[in-house]
Structures are given as C-alpha cells and as structure tokens.
Amino acid sequence: MTVTAPPPVRAAPPEAPPRPRKGRRRYGPVGLYVPALVLVALVSVIPIAWAVRLSLYRTRGLRTVEFVGWDNFATVLGPDGWGDIARTFAYVVISLVVAVPLGLGLAVLLNKPVRYIRAFRVVILLPWVVSQTVAALLWKWLLNGQYGPLHSLFGGREPLADPIGSMAALILVNVWISYPLATILCLAALQTVPQETVEASRVDGCSPTQSFYRIVVPTIRSTLLILVIMLTLLYFNMVTLVYTLTGGGPFSGTQVLSLDAFLQSFQFFKIGVGAAYSVVLFALNIVFGIAYIRVLRGSSDS
Amino acid sequence: MATNMNRRHLLRLGAFAAIGVTTGGALTACGDGDSGGDGVAELSMWTFLDPAGTDPRGKALKEIVDGFNASQSAAKVTVTSMNYAKIDGEVIRAANTGGGPDIVNIYTPQLAQHVEGGSIQEIDEYANDWLSEAGADYLFPIDSAKVDGKLMALPWESRVWLLWYRKDILDKYKVSAPTTLDEAIAAGAAIRKASGNKITGFAIGLSEQSLGADFMEKFDPFTAGFGGEIIGADGKAAFASAAGEQAMALIKKAADAGAMGREVLTMGADEVVNGVKAGTVAMAIEGSYRVASARSAEGVGDNLVTLPVPSTTAGKNMPTAVAGQTLAMGANTDHPEQVWAFMRYYLSAESQAKFAAAGVLPVLKSVYDSDAIAKAANATELLQWRDYLATDGKVSRFPADYSELSTNLVKAAQNMIFNGAAVPAALSEVQTQYNQKGK
C-alpha cells in the first residue's frame, strides 16, 4: 500500500496591496503640485510673458497699437539708457557693499550677551518698520539745506541739490531702511553657529578675527548669499524711495531703471517702453541671481 | 481604502470649492452692478479732494454731493478720494480693465492723456443744449476742455497764477513790493543775500518731481508773455523760439542774480508753497487755489499778499494759464444721464458759490455777482483774480504726452540755469526730440 502524501500546503502569499493604476501612479503626484504651478503661472509667468510681449509694441494709453520689434529697447539701451544702467549698478552695488557688512557687524554685536540687549535690538531694527515714503520724507527734511537739522554738516549746502550728493543721500537712506533686514537674517544665522567649533578654533590658536572669518563666515555663507540675492532684487526694483526722495534728479543724477520703468508706464503712459525697462531689469535680476548661486556653488566645491 | 476615501473627499471638496467660487463670483458680479435694488443708480466719483479732510474745498465737495443726493432719487454719488499724483494712473488703469469711476475729476493738462488712455468719453451729446444756454456764462473759452474738437469735460474750477510775497519778510529786510518781474528778482536777491542764503528770495521749483509742473507753470505763461507758445496750432513743440529763449533767460536771471540758489532743484510746487508758509521763501509765483491753505498756516495770514504776475514792463501783467479742475464722464459708466445730471448740479450757481467760499475761483461769471461772493472774506481778491483771468488768461494746448515733455523740459532747464548749457541749443534739442517722437 502506497500512501501518497498530500502535497504540502504552501502558505498563501500575503495579499499584495492593490497596485495603483498606471495613470494614477504617474499623474497623481503631478496633480498635487498643479495648483501651485497654476498659481505661480498666474502671478509670475503670465505677467512676465505679457510684459515681454508689451515691450515689443508701440502702445497708446494701455493698449497695444503696433508691433515695433526692438524699438522700445533702443530707448532703454540708447545713450541716455546706458547712463541710467550705470547709475543703477552704482546704486545697487554701493548699497550692497555698505548694507551687508553693516548688517553683519550689527548682528555680531547683537549676538553678544550684554545688558539691555533687547532694547538695543529694537532700536537697531526700528528703521525696518518705517515705510519707504515716510523714510524719504523724513530724510528730505533732515537734509534740507535751509532748515534741515543736519544742514550744518554740509556747510549750508544741500546734498539733494547736487547729483553726486543726491545719489549718496539715496544710498544712505536705502541702507538705513534695509540694513535691519540684513541684521535680522545674519543674527538668526549667527545663532546657529556651534559655539564649540568656535571655541575649538580658539584653542587651536585662532585669533577672534581669524575665528570669525574662517569659522563663522563660512558657516553662515548660505544665509549671506540669500541675503545678497534678496537685497539685490530689492534695490534693483526699488521705486517708491527714489521717486519720493529725489524723483531721479537733479540733473538725472539718481535716474535709475526702476524709476524709468515706473515713469514711462504710469506717468507718461508709454507702457511699451516701460515694459522694455522692466524686461531689462528682470534680465539683470536673473543674471545677478545666477552669478551669486554660481559663486556659492564654486566656493562649496572648493 | 483610507487613501481612496481621502482622495474622494478631496475631489468632493474641490468640486464644492469650485462651485462655491463660481457661485460667489456670480453673486458678487450681481452685487457689483451699480444699480441698487431700489432702482437708484450708484455713481462713483473719483477725485483728489477729500470730503472728510480739512481742506475747505473737500468740505464744499461734501456739501455739494450731499445736496445732490438729497435733491433727487434717481442717483446716489459716492466719493472716493485719491492722491492727486496717483489719480490719473488709477483711473486709466481701471478704465482699461472695464471698470473705473462714473465721474472723474481731471486737471486740464491731463485731459488729453485720459482721452488717449480711453478712460473718459466725450460729452457733447449731453452738454450742447446746456452750453447753448449757459456757455456764455463761462469766464473763459471752454476750449481748454476740448480734445480734437470734442468736449471731454466741464471745467468747474479756474485758477490764476499770482505773484506771492511775504510782506513780513519784505518788511524785515526793508525791501519794497515789486511792480515788475525784474524788481522781484532784484528784491529776492537782496533778501537771500541779507538772510545768509537761509531764505530763497524768489523761488521757481526746478525739481523733476511732479513732472516739472512748477517750472512749466512759469515757463508757459512767460513764453506767452514774450509772444510765443509751447505747443503750436499744428500740435508740434514751438518753444525753441525767441520768446521761449527770453522766458528761459528770465528764469535764469533769477538764479544768476542770486534770488534763488540750487535749493530750488529740490523744490516742486508743494515745497515752494511750504517754504512760503515756513518763511524760507519770500516770493514765488503760485496758484490762486493754494492761497487759502497757505494763509491758514501759523504766522502767515495776511502776511501773504498776492498780485497779478507783473511783466518786465511796469504796469503790464504777464499772461496767466487757463487751467483748472474739470469733471469728466467715465468711459464705462452705465448711467450717463445721471452722471450728466450730477455734472450740471456741480456747475450750478449754488455749488459754485460753495466752492467760492472755500477759496476756489468760480468758472461762471454770474456767480461773482452773487451774495455768496459779496459776503466772502476775500471778495476783493476773488474779483481781482477774476479780472486777471478775464484780461490775461491764455488757453494753452496740452497734448497727451505733455507730462513727458514737461519732465524733459525741466531737466533741460536745470542744465541751462545751473550748468551753463546754452539756452537756444538746449531748448532746440528738447523740441527736436519731442517733434521727432511725435512723427
């Protein structure tokens, strides 16, 4: 008699979770960020594309009249335009060169454990809450050559009545209203620097200055880069302060691209020319942004 | 399973949200119509005057709007106040997106810009009958409100530019009131020198801010006074002429003589008027519409004296520009009849008298004979201004790109007056540039 053993019962494999359908798997995650893409397109991409289109047209009021190709850019990049571009660079670069180190320096001071530190922080960050219009009117009064409280500093001369003095005043006020942003970002970054690392560098023989430049600054480098990008965009696009403080004068000494874009678009209603100025500004912003990121990547690699 | 439920939930929520947004939008659109459920047309008026502010003109506006709203049941006007430097841009932008006000206040030099921007509509159809009856009562030709021969607005305010001087400052520096512009410049120079440059003797604002308006308000009538014009009948710039050069030379003379220094490069009309109020400007040429406000400043009062602007010859006046505020009909209004009814009410003798009491120079001759004017504290002065306007008023042409022209001209003026640029060449350059762009 032969007994045939029944084949061993194999345990049924656990039920696999239902596989999402192919289309759902592929498009599901995409669907989640579509709303964000649509939003970005609505508030950024479409207006930029529209501005580029406008910049190629002659306009009447706010309506396009005739395709003129690059004619509007001939105004922006013409002899007067290059002067405006040069002034824009001077305004942005000098403001950055002053505001970033000033913000960093103040952040280092505010990071020290001293008495009344909160009061110091409030006072130093105060200009941040002042609007550009108020700041411009305040400084216009301070610098007035006839009755301004600071007029004696300039020997009775009025800085705002001179093209160089006017640009210097514009940069001063610009730095005054924007250094608190630099200070806050730097302060936040400084508080993330490990104290042990700094102390270790001191034990290894670094001076405080060496510790700062070799340990602290590299640690907060990415914050500094973001700060520089933010301030660059802010300065390139600033209209209210320039318009209220100097109006671009005197002798066109503070005529910058952002003011040109505003005046052409909303004072002279040449929206095509205004759009051309905006496109050039946009391109400059992109170029500067990419350049900063490359600098950061380069130093990270090294 | 849970995932599917959530997804379904999400989809359901999304559908509800979409329906909600659509329905809400539709409901909002219903409510956005400017006819109330009771058949009253809701009219929006955009103006630089603030009915809730301290400016007497704003208070007069409030009385007039309240009076109109109470006078009939077909329409109700609501006022939106805006900064005068922003209102034109806001109106043009709003009109180009299908919105904008039913009624808009526009300053004469900006009318052509609004026409080009498509923010207002012509009112000949409504105004012709009224003008045939009441048009002769206008103090000056209504041409200033016409663009390409079409009436685009109704002037409701007129103004003259006057020689202002602070009597107390002139007395302090023992300078007598000028009777010619040359005397004004000499007196201004003496005051500035004696004050150690603390007081600008004779100020003409040369800042690019406010589109160089303060400069243009002098350059235009001065050019006319010497027999020229800024824009010719053919629509082309014509200021690079002997008259334009004389006008510019006269302004330059004020700087060369020391009546004004580089401080005027930072001044527009507001800064000049504030300087007069503060006592840092002794003399200026400013508008009649600012007199009441300037006199209300502490220590000013009757110390501020006004005269028709004298010419360079004794006993003769410089022309004064015919310009002022107007009311126009919004391009997208659904209630033109009611808007016109309001415009007529705004131009009634009663409304004009209310504005006159607020220091505004009325546009209708008959109003000057009314009791309201006779009882006004500054009745003599108002009549003097009226006579100046009637005798020496000059209608200028303001093309659509006037703002750009005035900005370019004031920049050129800065160079001519303070940087030694040759007057004829600099004027010709701006003129050529303008005329070439207009081709």
Set out the domains of chain A in order of their start, with CATH numbers: 86-258 (1.10.3720.10)
Question: Strand B325-330 to strand B120-121: parallel, antiparallel, or no bridges (unpaired)?
Answer: antiparallel
Which pLDDT score, from 0 to 100, does residue A13 have?
63
Interface test with A, best of B107, B116, B197, B208 (most A CBs within 10 A): B208
Contact B407 A263 (CB under 8 A): yes
d(CA B252, CA B248): 6
CA dihedral B124, B80, B38, B36 (to 10 degrees): 90
Q: Does A67 touch chain B (CB under 8 A)?
A: no
Q: Which amino acid makes up residue A196? A: E
Whether the ipTM is more than 0.90: the answer is no
> Using CA atoms, how far apart are residues A219 and A146, in angstroms rounded to an integer?
49
**Is A62 in contact with B113 (Cβ distance < 8 A)?**
no
Within 13 Å of residue B140, how many CA atoms lie on the same side as its CB?
30
Instruction: Count CB neighbours of A197 within 10 A.
Output: 13
Query: Which stretches within B233-368 are classed as H helix?
Result: 242-256, 269-278, 291-295, 336-346, 349-357
| pLDDT attached to residue A14 | 64
Q: What confidence score (pLDDT) does residue B25 get? A: 39
Residues of B contacting chain A (CB within 8 angstroms): 89, 92-93, 96, 113, 116-119, 197-200, 206-211, 261-263, 265-266, 275, 278, 280, 400-401, 403-404, 407, 411, 414-415, 419
- Tokens representing residue B272 in the block: 């000049």
Q: Quick check: helix, strand or coil at residue B261?
A: coil
Cβ-contact B430, B257 below 8 angstroms = no
Question: What tens-digit pLDDT sequence spans chain B (439 residues)?
Answer: 334 445 455 445 444 444 444 444 333 333 344 555 567 899 999 999 999 988 888 999 999 999 999 998 899 999 999 988 789 989 998 998 889 999 999 999 899 999 998 999 999 999 998 888 887 888 877 888 999 889 999 999 988 999 999 999 999 999 999 999 999 999 999 999 999 999 999 999 999 988 899 999 999 999 999 999 999 989 899 999 999 999 999 999 999 999 999 999 999 999 999 999 999 999 999 999 889 889 988 999 999 999 999 999 988 999 998 888 999 999 999 999 999 999 999 999 899 988 888 878 899 988 888 887 888 777 888 899 999 998 998 888 888 889 999 999 999 999 999 999 999 999 999 999 999 876 5
Is A251 near chain B, with CB under 8 Å?
yes
Q: Does A71 touch chain B (CB under 8 A)?
A: no
Peptide bond into A250 cis (omega under 30): yes
Residues of B in contact with A249 (CB under 8 A): 207-209, 265, 411, 414
Q: How far apart are CA B213 and CA B222, in angstroms?
A: 14
- Would you state the pLDDT for residue A271? 92
> Within B262-401, where are the H helices?
269-278, 291-295, 336-346, 349-357, 371-375, 379-392
* Nearest to B248, CA basis, from B234, B230, B261: B230
Residue-level pLDDT at A32: 86
| pLDDT for the residue numbered A102 | 96
- Given a contact cutoff of 8 angstroms between Cβ atoms, the answer to whether B264 and B184 are in contact is no
A4 bridge partner residues = none
- The full set of domains in chain B, from first to last, is 41-158+323-394 (3.40.190.10), 161-321+401-437 (3.40.190.10)
Which residue of A62, A64, A133, A154 is the best one to mutate when testing the B interface, meaning the one whose CB has the most B CBs within 10 A?
A: A62
Runs of H (alpha helix) within chain A: 22-40, 46-54, 71-76, 79-110, 117-125, 132-142, 163-190, 195-203, 208-211, 217-219, 221-236, 240-245, 257-262, 271-301
Cα→Cα distances B54→B65, B286, B372, Å: 17, 21, 21
For B375, the token pair is: 């009882």
Tally Cβ neighbours within 10 Å of residue B222: 26
The ranges of chain A with pLDDT < 70 are 1-25, 299-302
pLDDT (0 to 100) of residue A84: 94
Chain B's closest residue to A166, CA to CA, is B266
